[in-house]
Structures are given as C-alpha cells and as structure tokens.
Amino acid sequence: MIIAIDGPAAAGKGTLAERLAAHYGLAYLDTGLLYRAVGRAMAEAGLDPDDAAAAARVAAALDPARLADPHLRGREAGELASRVAVHPAVRAALLDLQRGFARRPEGAVLDGRDIGTAICPDADVKIFVTAAPEVRARRRTDELAAKGRDVPYERILAEILERDARDSGRASAPLRRAEDAVLLDTSALDREAALAAAIAIVEAAR
Ligand code: C5P
C-alpha cells in the first residue's frame, strides 16, 4: 500500500505521515528533506540556489547521509529548499530515489508537495493535508517557542505564505491537490483527531 501525503508548508504532514507509517508498519520518506539537503549543500558550497544547472548537479550527487543533518529542519533550509525545488532538473534528479523508495514490496508512506500528482500518481491512498495559513503559522510559532526560540508570529506567517506561493506558482510539479486526493483540513483538529481522520481515509480507500 502506497500512501501519498501532500500539502502546504507547516500543515503537519510530517507528523501525520510518520504516525500513519507507524500505524500500518510502513516505511516513511519525508521528501522535503531531499530538497532541503540540496538547498543546504548549495549554501555550504557558496552556490546560488537560483542557479538551475548548479542545483541540478548538487541534486544528482546528493549523499543520502546528508538527510540526517538536524539543520535541515530549520526555516532557512525550508526557504532554500523551495528555491531549488523550482528547477525541473533538480526534481528530475530526485525522482528515481523517491520512486525507488515507494517500490518496496510492502509499500510506503511519502509526504511532500507532488507525491500524489507526480511521484506516485498511482498511490493507493492520497491525502491532501491543509489548514488555514493563520493556524499553521500559530502552530509553528508555538512549536518554536516551546524550543526556546521566539520568532514573531507575523514573520512565520509571511514565510509560510511566501513558500506556499512559490510552491504553488512554479511550473514544474506545483503544489496542488490531485483530483483523487481526499482533502483533510486540520484547522480545527488536534494531532490525535488528525491522525484518526487520516486512518479513516486510509481504511475507506483500501
Ligand atoms: O515539506 P517541507 O517543508 O520540508 O519541504 C520543503 C520545500 O521543499 C517545500 O517548500 C517545497 O518547495 C519543496 N518540496 C517539493 N516537493 C516535495 C517536497 C518538498 O517541491 N515533494
């Protein structure tokens, strides 16, 4: 069983996908980490993330060991990721790795922006997870505050809106709900309720 989870920034896809994978005993791939790793590798090498040819070279040579870098989860890596993710050659370079992951016999859970539309269009279950931008920004602000990092809510909201606009507006595999994806709006749901709703969607689909 392949479960594809897509949605905008800070919608809680990662937590949900990880817990769904644990629930069904499936492997999980956070595909955002791939783009984050490419963005960070470029920054470290002093390369411009808007340079498509350089980004494609870095993506083609990506060392999977890089995915364990804790800095990848940060806001700066998220911004760099969305800049390198607009280049079609970067997306092409990361395609086999993602499809190969999804091909394991028991199936897998993948989350990202284009899993249901481009990476695994034949996924057994597709869920498009979203929440109002203000709700996503509030959750992210609170998460950071809990780690002792006080970032103004307005700044987080602006970053989320900017990333969503870039991800939805790009020509190559933009962020959008696949026609056969079930919409899961978590604006009024806590994590437990969101997981229960996702499990109900999977059960209804299989
Ligand atoms: O999901 P996450 O916030 O970690 O993704 C970081 C960025 O990577 C996204 O804003 C998006 O630009 C890009 N991305 C993508 N396609 C995916 C996963 C992530 O373009 N499947």
User: Could you tell me the CATH number of the domain that includes residue 135?
Assistant: 3.40.50.300
Residue 63 inside a domain? The answer is: yes
Residue 188 inside a domain? The answer is: yes
What does the pLDDT look like over 95-123, one tens digit per residue?
Answer: 999 999 999 999 999 999 999 999 999 99
- The residue whose CA is least distant from atom 13 of ligand 1 is 82
Does 85 contact ligand 1 (Cβ within 6 A)? yes
Nearest of 163, 139, 174 to residue 153 by alpha carbon? 139
Residue 52 inside a domain? The answer is: yes
Does 12 contact ligand 1 (Cβ within 6 A)? no
ipTM of model: 0.99
Task: Tell me how far the alpha carbon of residue 204 lies from the centroid of ligand 1, in angstroms.
Answer: 27
Nearest of 139, 113, 96, 119 to residue 36 by alpha carbon? 113
The whole domain housing 71 covers: 2-200
- The residue whose CA is least distant from atom 21 of ligand 1 is 112
How many angstroms separate the CA atoms of 183 and 185, rounded?
6
Q: Are 120 and 2 in contact (CB under 8 A)?
A: yes
- pTM of the prediction? 0.97
Residue 16 inside a domain? The answer is: yes
Q: Are 90 and 61 in contact (CB under 8 A)?
A: no
Residue 205 inside a domain? The answer is: no
Number of domains in the chain: 1
Q: Which helix (H) or strand (E) holds 185?
A: strand 182-185
What does the pLDDT look like over 160-169, one tens digit per residue?
Answer: 999 999 999 9
| pLDDT for the residue 147 | 93
Residue 103 inside a domain? The answer is: yes
Residue 192 has pLDDT above 90, yes or no: yes
Does 78 contact ligand 1 (Cβ within 6 A)? yes
